[in-house]
């Protein structure tokens, strides 16, 4: 990917003069806090990557406007009587953006690539339930499952990749495909622009030719600047608006706000792979030191949380009480863990308790939160360092090397709010190293439940369990809205993937 030339507020007047008041045939321009680091669905890990992927790629199935499972690249399917085999007939009117025909080979290749350990796909968990995939004919595939599946179509939403663009099923993250993606979706990636933006053009051969001729993704890391660009018509859409900007944008009759609920929560995640943070008493003590309300107030309105769900979730355990902000309780826990306060600093064996807070540079308002948090913890006797990382450092240090003390980050979930990958000891997204037999048991119980009330009960117990174990300090959830100029018509926003129905959108 080309280097990103971030647009800064300094250039506001010039930028507005050059780019405002687009003509009707102009593109829809939207802002992301951070440009996608990679445009390869095998390695999608952030929301900005998922959103762009939604425009470029397609799955076998998708959501219709009422969020029911509907065929996308699939045409029809037949489930065997014992429910362990699904034969899918594929559409024949689909071609890749490079003109090659879409075939059953592509489907089988995608599943095999996701499952290939040499790929190390972040999405591997989404096909773990498929035992095998085979080509029946050019437009028919057969999937076999390890155990009966009541409605396997509901799990076939992952994006399909073109086999002919890869050398084998072991795909590297650095494969050139990452910035030269070829999909079957309604928009094709056209070019990376000098200002760091990405232009997508309508794929004219798509069976449902999109209403928008072009879409341009601009990376604008400053949320205030994003809002100004929208108000001055230099952008048509903001994916996420900060809660504090909602009222201002709502007053502008040229702007429409759309709820975009991603079931997101912020957290401080400890590195449990050794060091002081492996001791739950130390983590719980930090929990008593963090004044969440004070951290939240400057960045907007939201609800604080005590566990890994948002409060409106059916899995949220409202009986779990938040840890009180209490220097006394924090001190008692640290003393129990062998620490002493020497000249106002917590130490053990003569060494100060030092905490390095790592955060991704693009996380909205992260700097404000981290600085306030640093101040809160230092006042209570911790030595605190701060590390803001770019995407490459984040992937390397946090995900690959586990080189961190605590991260400030955010998880977003679709409507299933499935936290298994984050908290199961074998979870693919469990980078903190959290391992609890009780938690694993509850996650298994929730996964295997056929009674919704049993699943609710198991996950409410899990909420209490992870609150007690404190692998994370669960912080808050924020109101989530997107904003668009009113000249963007026919908008329906998918509650998680955002652009699922963007091919229906039009510009006045």
Binding piece for another protein, criterion CB under 8 A, among 78-86, 175-183, 199-207, 412-420: 412-420
Q: Do 62 and 74 touch, CB atoms closer than 8 A?
A: no
Q: Do 393 and 361 touch, CB atoms closer than 8 A?
A: no
Two structure tokens written together for 239: 């994916």
495 binds another protein (CB under 8 A): yes
- What x/- string results for residues 273 through 302 when contact with another protein is judged by CB under 8 A? ----------------------------x-
What own/partner pairs with CB < 8 Å and gap ≥ 24 does 130-134 have? 133/107, 133/108, 134/108
Identify which of residues 310 and 373 has a Cβ nearer to another protein in the complex: 310
Identify which of residues 344 and 452 has a Cβ nearer to another protein in the complex: 452
Question: What number of residues does the chain have?
Answer: 508
2, 224, 375, 486: which one contacts another protein (CB under 8 A)?
A: 486
Two structure tokens written together for 237: 């859409």
Q: Identify the helix (H) or strand (E) that includes residue 201.
A: strand 198-202
190, 387, 417, 440: which one contacts another protein (CB under 8 A)?
A: 417
24, 247, 392, 437: which one contacts another protein (CB under 8 A)?
A: 247
Two structure tokens written together for 183: 């999909």
Identify which of residues 192 and 258 has a Cβ nearer to another protein in the complex: 258
192 binds another protein (CB under 8 A): no
Identify which of residues 251 and 321 has a Cβ nearer to another protein in the complex: 251
CA distances from 143 to 37, 71, 119, 147, 361 (A): 32, 16, 20, 12, 41
Identify which of residues 30 and 481 has a Cβ nearer to another protein in the complex: 481
b/e burial code for range 97-132 (CB count within 10 A of at least 16 → b): beeeebbbebbbbbbbbbbbeebebbbbbbbeebee
Binding piece for another protein, criterion CB under 8 A, among 107-115, 210-218, 337-345, 450-458: 450-458
List CB contacts of 306: < 8 A, sequence separation 6 or more. Answer: 317, 320, 321, 322, 463, 467, 474
31, 35, 39, 50: which one contacts another protein (CB under 8 A)?
A: 50
What is the footprint of another protein within residues 156-175 (CB under 8 A)?
Answer: 157-158
Two structure tokens written together for 282: 């130390």
Find the shortest distance in angstroms from Cβ 138 to another protein.
Answer: 27
345 binds another protein (CB under 8 A): no
What is the footprint of another protein within residues 313-342 (CB under 8 A)?
Answer: 313-315
251 binds another protein (CB under 8 A): yes
State phi, psi for 64 to the nearest 5 degrees: -85, 180
Q: Do 222 and 13 touch, CB atoms closer than 8 A?
A: no
Residue with tokens 């504090």: 244
Binding piece for another protein, criterion CB under 8 A, among 20-28, 131-139, 305-313, 344-352: 305-313
Report the distance separating Cα 38 and Cα 175, nearest Å: 10
Find the shortest distance in angstroms from Cβ 315 to another protein.
Answer: 8
Q: Do 397 and 403 touch, CB atoms closer than 8 A?
A: yes
- What x/- string results for residues 106 through 135 when contact with another protein is judged by CB under 8 A? --------------------x---------
Report the distance separating Cα 417 and Cα 428, nearest Å: 16
DSSP 156: -
DSSP 6-28: ---GGGHHHHHHHH-S--TTSPE
Q: Do 105 and 24 touch, CB atoms closer than 8 A?
A: no
# of chain residues touching another protein (CB under 8 A): 75
Report the distance separating Cα 211 and Cα 504, nearest Å: 6
Which stretches does DSSP call E strand in 234-299? 237-241, 255-259, 264-270
Find the shortest distance in angstroms from Cβ 384 to another protein.
Answer: 23
Find the shortest distance in angstroms from Cβ 279 to another protein.
Answer: 26
- What x/- string results for residues 55 through 74 when contact with another protein is judged by CB under 8 A? --------x-xxxx------
What is the footprint of another protein within residues 347-406 (CB under 8 A)?
Answer: 360, 362-363
167, 208, 401, 451: which one contacts another protein (CB under 8 A)?
A: 451
Binding piece for another protein, criterion CB under 8 A, among 91-99, 170-178, 249-257, 432-440: 249-257
104 binds another protein (CB under 8 A): no
């Amino acid at each position: 990917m080309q280097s990103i030339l971030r647009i800064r507020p300094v250039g506001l007047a010039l930028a507005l003069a050059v780019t405002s008041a687009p003509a009707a045939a102009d593109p829809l321009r939207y802002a992301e806090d951070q440009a996608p680091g990679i445009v390869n669905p095998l390695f999608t890990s952030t929301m900005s990557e998922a959103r762009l992927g939604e425009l470029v790629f397609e799955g076998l199935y998708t959501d219709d406007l009422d969020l029911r499972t509907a065929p996308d690249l699939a045409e029809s399917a037949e489930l065997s009587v014992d429910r362990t085999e699904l034969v899918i007939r594929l559409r024949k009117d689909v071609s890749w953006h490079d003109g090659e025909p879409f075939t059953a080979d592509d489907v089988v290749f995608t599943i095999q690539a996701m499952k290939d350990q040499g790929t190390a796909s972040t999405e591997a968990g989404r096909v773990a339930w498929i035992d095998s995939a085979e080509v029946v004919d050019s437009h028919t595939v057969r999937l076999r499952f390890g155990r009966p599946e009541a409605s396997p179509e509901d799990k076939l939403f992952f994006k399909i990749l073109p086999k002919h663009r890869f050398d084998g099923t072991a795909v590297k993250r650095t494969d050139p495909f990452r910035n030269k993606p070829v999909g079957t979706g309604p928009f094709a990636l056209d070019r990376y622009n000098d200002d760091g933006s990405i232009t997508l053009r309508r794929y004219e051969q798509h069976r449902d030719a999109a209403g928008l001729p072009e879409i341009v993704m601009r990376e604008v890391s400053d949320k205030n600047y994003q809002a100004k660009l929208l108000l001055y018509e230099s952008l048509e859409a903001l994916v996420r608006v900060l809660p504090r900007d909602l009222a201002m944008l709502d007053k502008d009759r040229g702007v429409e706000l759309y709820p975009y609920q991603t079931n997101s929560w912020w957290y401080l995640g400890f590195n449990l792979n050794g060091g002081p943070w492996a001791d739950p008493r130390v983590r719980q003590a930090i929990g008593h030191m963090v004044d969440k309300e004070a951290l939240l107030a400057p960045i907007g309105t939201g609800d604080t949380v005590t566990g890994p769900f948002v409060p409106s979730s059916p899995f949220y355990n409202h009986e779990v009480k938040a840890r009180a902000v209490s220097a006394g309780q924090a001190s008692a826990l640290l003393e129990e863990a062998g620490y002493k306060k020497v000249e106002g600093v917590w130490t053990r064996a003569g060494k100060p308790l030092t905490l390095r807070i790592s955060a991704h540079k693009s996380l909205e308002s992260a700097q404000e939160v981290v600085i306030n948090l640093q101040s809160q913890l230092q006042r209570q006797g911790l030595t605190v360092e701060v590390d803001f990382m770019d995407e490459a450092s984040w992937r390397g240090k946090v995900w690959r090397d586990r080189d961190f003390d605590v991260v400030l980050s955010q998880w977003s979930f679709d409507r299933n709010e499935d936290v298994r990958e984050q908290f199961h000891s074998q979870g693919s997204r469990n980078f903190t190293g959290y391992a609890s037999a009780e938690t694993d048991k509850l996650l298994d119980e929730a996964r295997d439940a056929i009674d919704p009330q049993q699943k609710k009960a198991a996950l409410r117990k899990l909420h209490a369990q992870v609150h007690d174990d404190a692998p994370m300090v669960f912080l808050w959830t924020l109101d989530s809205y997107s904003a668009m100029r009113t000249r963007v018509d026919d908008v329906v926003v998918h509650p998680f993937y955002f652009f699922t129905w963007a091919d229906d959108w039009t510009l006045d």
